[in-house]
Structure 1
Amino acid sequence: MPSVEGAGGRLLTRTRGDKYIWGIVVMLAITSLLVVYSATGSLAYKMYKGNTEVYLFRQLSFIVLGLAVVYFLHRVNYTIYSRVSLILYLISVPLLLYTLLFGVEVNDASRWIKVPVINLTIQTSDFAKLALFMYISRQLSRKQKDIKDFKKGFLPIIIPVCITCALIMPANLSNALLTGATSLLLMFIGRVNFKHILLVIAVAMIPILIIVSVAVTTYDADKTDNTKASESSLTSVGRFGTWVSRVQDFIYAGDTEIPYQVQQQNIAIANGGILFGRGPGNSLQRNYLPQAYNDSIYPIIIEEYGLFGGVVIIFLYLVFLFRCIRIFRRCPYAFGAFLALALSFTLVIQAIANMAVGVNLIPVTGVTLPLVSMGGSSFLFTCASIGIVLSVARNLEQMEGKATESEQQESTVNA
């Protein structure tokens, strides 16, 4: 009977790709387990009659499944993703449409569809983003000769981006903006004409300026509950009222009562002190902070692990981005290079947005902290993205190994 140690050794020998990225994934997964267990302890106690380990084992199962997804996808040759990218993108569009029309509604937004057999809700925008970045990476790699041309190079890339962002926007404006920003950044690196990119930015700024203008013009400092007033007067236009109220909360936070979520985030950060925080499991604000285990997990990290813990998390994401940029620069094939860069950009930009909300630098967005927030479909799609990045790194490692081997053989023959 083969030993567990032997099986583990074989697994390690079959694990390839960037070791730093593997290390970052493991470190963030361990952090997630600790922080989610702490943030959900009181909730689990109330919901499950004293059983505080329910969410711990749930998160552990998602981490194990997520690591399995990373391992499986990193073993797949990344060129396959180029072949299936169009099919995945064409699947994502009707999925987004179905979600808008018939999706599960949570917090006045249809972002999820429910899978009947496994009873799991899936946020289709996560799948759509993954499919979109595969597809535009393929388009950028195939159209480098015509990339400066508006019809031949620009339109085939920007049209899928606009369709996906337009379908995500009604339910999740912040997610649509982050997806669009990542796509434009990738197009800039892919040598798309800068004038065309500026044109897209100018058009995208129109709805943002409309929201800010309405927020400023409809704000009334004398109203004791301005948020509810603005939402109730604009609820007939989808989530427009929610967007306006979040902008008002952010701009006028000092003029009226600070929004409850921002208050609790600030208290959590203040409780953390300067360096090492209150210690693991000692958060006080987890009992009061909305979505402490999900959207607002970064303030809980700072409360329990202090400034040191908050900086370490930022450092890990920046190292992840640096290693992916290194893969981009070393990869000899354009598709793999663009794919690694696109998926790293979307994860790091999402992480920065979540942390910026946590310290009240930008309005509330509702995006999770990748690999740290409590598990779900978002966690699994994040793992899928990292597995694909590691697939590019693994193939690059194999090519460089073969090149080194042939050089050694050639030098031996010459000797």
Structure 2
Amino acid sequence: MNSNGRSQALSATIAGAFSRGDRTGLGRWFSTIDRTLLLIIIALIGCGVLAVAAASPAAAHRLSGARFHYDDLYFLKRQIGWVIAGVSVMFGVSLLTPAWARRLALGGTFFCLLALVYVLTTGADANGAQRWIDLRFTRIQPSEFFKPMFIVTTAWLLALRFEDRSLPTMQLSFGMLVLVAALLVKQPDYGQTALIVMVWLVQALLAGMSLWIVGGIVGAGLLGLGVAYLTVAHVTDRINKFVLGIGDTEQIEKALDCFRAGGLFGAGPGEGVMKFRLPEPHTDYIFSVIGEEFGILACLLIAGLYLAFVARVYVTMLDEEDPFLFLAATGLATQFGLQATINMMVNLNLMPSKGMTLPLISHGGSSFIALCLGLGLLLAFTRRNPFLKASPYVERWRAG
């Protein structure tokens, strides 16, 4: 066979693998996956690799010391490895049926709860917070993995109300929320606590919780924030920096300097100077690095991708008749969108510092894998078969 014949055969094989008529696992996956959502995810991951490439020299310079020197591309190389691992996790989880994805999340919630308790007793300490499990080659933050698992578990509990109104599933899920919030505050991790509470409120509201009850919970949360402001020095310091400009505001000033230096179109890839003054250029403040090197227009593009992601999920789920799939998908999308919003607002000095990464863009190990796990669950819950939507076989497939 000549080279032209071989190339035609290869093309036919690839086309066949992704054909709607193909009934293999890969063929079914491609014909049922939300390809628009998948493209948005791929675009964000691509933006993340470019952003880490821009931030890597600054991070390496800042973290290098007398005893150890980081290569300028050290964090980029690590990020590429995490991307390969994360995308593999996302793809593998997205192959699951909704029933198996739910079982994975229920089991994962239990083990993550145990990990949260373990962290408080023997976890690794950093910057006054006890949030990590040290595995020597990397550190894992259990709360990152807990978020998507808990969201799916909450969706399952709240969905049971639609089958039997007498079941106290709303109260049970709220009790779990209180337990988790207590464990996270103990670390302390107020940012993750606030994020999980906000996502739970959105899910509870979509499940039919009274606005009065939601308002009461929000009021209690604000009261708790006030108490924390008066009693916890760390919270007092961050709020004073944000509201009154009291204390060390150098960190956020450096972030804003990056946006000023970049302007609309940016200084150009690798041409940023202000990024070398940022404390966490590759993680918490990578959005500022994007602003300096690629400009405010690039920042708006990334913000638009996050908005498109959330809007796509909500619009897709509008006609979903299964309450569990509806609550799970919208909850996961809400978590993704809120986390991105919080990070971007912190970089723009529109919110006190939270220590939260920018989803799929910030350099990260366990946080990136956890995000991909959540996205894999979301892709599994949003899979649709356009030919069998009204068929009883769809219910059989969903039931596993």
Structure 2 length as normaliser, TM-score? Answer: 0.86
2 CA distance for matches of 1:7 and 1:277? Answer: 43
| Deviations 1:249-276 (CA, angstroms, capped at 9, x unpaired) | 11111xx566111110111010011x21
| Alignment-mate amino acid for residue 214 of structure 2 | I
Equivalent in the alignment of 1:175: 192
1:368-387 equivalence runs, <5 A? 368-387=357-376
SS at match of 1:98: helix
1:366-405 equivalence runs, <5 A? 366-394=355-383, 397-398=384-385, 400-403=386-389
Mind listing any 5+ residue stretches in structure 2 that lack a counterpart?
1-5, 20-25, 393-400
Return closer, same or farther for 1:404/1:195 CA change in 2, 3 Å cut-off.
closer
Equivalent in the alignment of 2:228: 211
Return closer, same or farther for 1:49/1:102 CA change in 2, 3 Å cut-off.
closer
Return closer, same or farther for 1:257/1:127 CA change in 2, 3 Å cut-off.
closer
2:255 corresponds to which of 265, 279, 301: 265
Do 1:79 and 1:336's aligned partners in 2 also have CA atoms closer than 8 Å?
no
Do 2:267 and 2:292's aligned partners in 1 also have CA atoms closer than 8 Å?
yes
| Alignment-mate amino acid for residue 336 of structure 1 | L
Return closer, same or farther for 1:390/1:352 CA change in 2, 3 Å cut-off.
same
Aligned-residue offset at 1:64 = 1.4
| Deviations 1:24-62 (CA, angstroms, capped at 9, x unpaired) | 111111111111121121443646657322222211111
After superposing the two structures, state which structure 1 stretch, 296-305 or 193-202, moved more: 193-202
Equivalent in the alignment of 1:248: 240
1:112-123 equivalence runs, <5 A? 112-115=132-135, 119-123=137-141
1 CA distance for matches of 2:350 and 2:13? Answer: 47
| 1:194 counterpart = 2:211 | yes
2 CA distance for matches of 1:405 and 1:159? Answer: 38
Equivalent in the alignment of 1:165: 181
Equivalent in the alignment of 2:143: 125
Cα RMSD (Å):
2.5
1 CA distance for matches of 2:95 and 2:163? Answer: 31
Do 1:328 and 1:341's aligned partners in 2 also have CA atoms closer than 8 Å?
yes
| Deviations 1:200-255 (CA, angstroms, capped at 9, x unpaired) | 2222222201234x2xxxxxxxxxxxxxxxxxxx7xxxxx22111101111111xx
| Alignment-mate amino acid for residue 30 of structure 1 | G
Equivalent in the alignment of 1:103: 123
| 1:324 counterpart = 2:313 | yes
| 1:54 counterpart = 2:54 | no
| Alignment-mate amino acid for residue 92 of structure 1 | C
1:299 corresponds to which of 288, 293, 308: 288
Equivalent in the alignment of 1:34: 50
Report sequence identity in percent: 23
Aligned-residue offset at 1:12 = 5.0
2 CA distance for matches of 1:10 and 1:103? Answer: 49
SS at match of 1:143: helix
Equivalent in the alignment of 1:315: 304
Do 2:195 and 2:335's aligned partners in 1 also have CA atoms closer than 8 Å?
yes
Equivalent in the alignment of 1:237: none
Aligned-residue offset at 1:83 = 3.1
SS at match of 1:402: coil
| Alignment-mate amino acid for residue 82 of structure 1 | R
Return closer, same or farther for 1:296/1:405 CA change in 2, 3 Å cut-off.
same
| Alignment-mate amino acid for residue 25 of structure 1 | I
After superposing the two structures, state which structure 1 stretch, 324-333 or 82-91, moved more: 82-91
How many residue pairs were aligned?
A: 371
2 CA distance for matches of 1:285 and 1:185? Answer: 38
Return closer, same or farther for 1:174/1:49 CA change in 2, 3 Å cut-off.
closer
Equivalent in the alignment of 2:398: none
| Deviations 1:108-129 (CA, angstroms, capped at 9, x unpaired) | 101111235xx22111101221
SS at match of 1:105: strand
Do 1:40 and 1:286's aligned partners in 2 also have CA atoms closer than 8 Å?
no
Equivalent in the alignment of 2:23: none
Aligned-residue offset at 1:7 = 7.3
Return closer, same or farther for 1:11/1:31 CA change in 2, 3 Å cut-off.
farther
Return closer, same or farther for 1:175/1:87 CA change in 2, 3 Å cut-off.
same
SS at match of 2:351: coil
| Deviations 1:163-204 (CA, angstroms, capped at 9, x unpaired) | 112111232101101110110011101112333322322222
1 CA distance for matches of 2:341 and 2:49? Answer: 20
| Deviations 1:321-346 (CA, angstroms, capped at 9, x unpaired) | 01110232132311111111111100
| Alignment-mate amino acid for residue 209 of structure 2 | V
1:225-240 equivalence runs, <5 A? 240=232
Return closer, same or farther for 1:10/1:62 CA change in 2, 3 Å cut-off.
farther
1 CA distance for matches of 2:115 and 2:69? Answer: 38
Do 1:328 and 1:338's aligned partners in 2 also have CA atoms closer than 8 Å?
no
Mind listing any 5+ residue stretches in structure 1 that lack a counterpart?
215-233, 235-239, 407-415
| Deviations 1:64-110 (CA, angstroms, capped at 9, x unpaired) | 11111111111110212333444322222221111122111111101
SS at match of 2:72: coil
Return closer, same or farther for 1:25/1:10 CA change in 2, 3 Å cut-off.
farther
| Alignment-mate amino acid for residue 388 of structure 2 | K
2 CA distance for matches of 1:175 and 1:10? Answer: 44
